[in-house]
Amino acid sequence: MPAPVGTQHTAGVRTGMFGVHGTGDTSGFGGLTQAVDWPRPSQAPYGGWFDQVVQSLVTGTRAQGVESALGSVVVHRGELTLHVRREDLLVVARVLRDDPALRFEFCAGVNGVHYPDDTGRELHAVYHLLSMTYNRRVRVEVAAPDSDPHVPSLVAVYPTTDWHEREAFDMYGIVFEGHPSLTRILMPDDWPGHPQRKDYPLGGIPVEYKGGTVPPPDQRRSYN
């Protein structure tokens, strides 16, 4: 049977092209108003192999002593998204990787997202997992508040997330606890703010690279 499509609900309203204010927008899109719609959680049965993945994950995490790791399951546009509590992220990742019925061996990366209107859950980290054994893909999503932007690092489970977590930290300010070297990867070390957050100015700010220098090799930051 086809997977049920969760209905959408409006989570906020975005004004202008990019949703920011006071930046001197001259693009002509400043008067746009658009609802921010999110798909609602879906109800079982989800259809196809989605049910097997969800059930195997629930069984596997309970065997690790975690009773309710899954916050919600969203099936939208033929894709499966698993919303989990950030404190259970490491357990969920290990079960998804190691359970014989799941075998999501590869993490293609982690994306940061900033939802200013999602009160208490403003920062999201979204992981894209691939099972090469079963040729399946799932999305795992966790949220953290602006006031406590900490999420467990998955480098120990999926080493491919190393630089991806550094980029999400650099661009969004998400602090990945346990990362072996959580430093900026795109911006200079002393860059103020996180440029991909929706409250970061789009323009009209000083050119902050002015006067930048490259120190001698023996004075550069060490990654060891």
User: pTM for the full model?
Assistant: 0.80
Helix spans in 23-181 (H): 50-63, 89-98, 162-172
Single-letter amino acid, residue 109: G
Is the residue at 55 inside a domain?
yes
For every residue of 103-123, DSSP letters joined together read ---EEEEEEEEE-TTSTT--E
Is the residue at 73 inside a domain?
yes
Note down pLDDT in tens along the chain; length 224 residues. 344 444 556 667 777 665 555 555 566 666 777 777 778 888 889 999 999 999 999 999 999 999 888 989 999 999 999 999 999 999 999 999 999 999 999 999 999 999 888 889 999 999 999 999 999 999 999 999 999 999 999 999 999 999 999 999 999 999 999 999 999 999 988 888 899 998 887 665 555 555 666 666 667 666 55
Is the residue at 175 inside a domain?
yes
Helices 50-63 and 89-98 sit at what angle, rounded to 10 degrees? 120
Number of domains in the chain: 1
Measured from the Cβ of residue 161, the count of other Cβ atoms closer than 10 Å reads 23
| CATH number (domain holding residue 50) | 3.30.460.80
Is the residue at 1 inside a domain?
no
Is the residue at 82 inside a domain?
yes
Is the residue at 2 inside a domain?
no
Domain membership of residue 154 as a residue range: 38-197
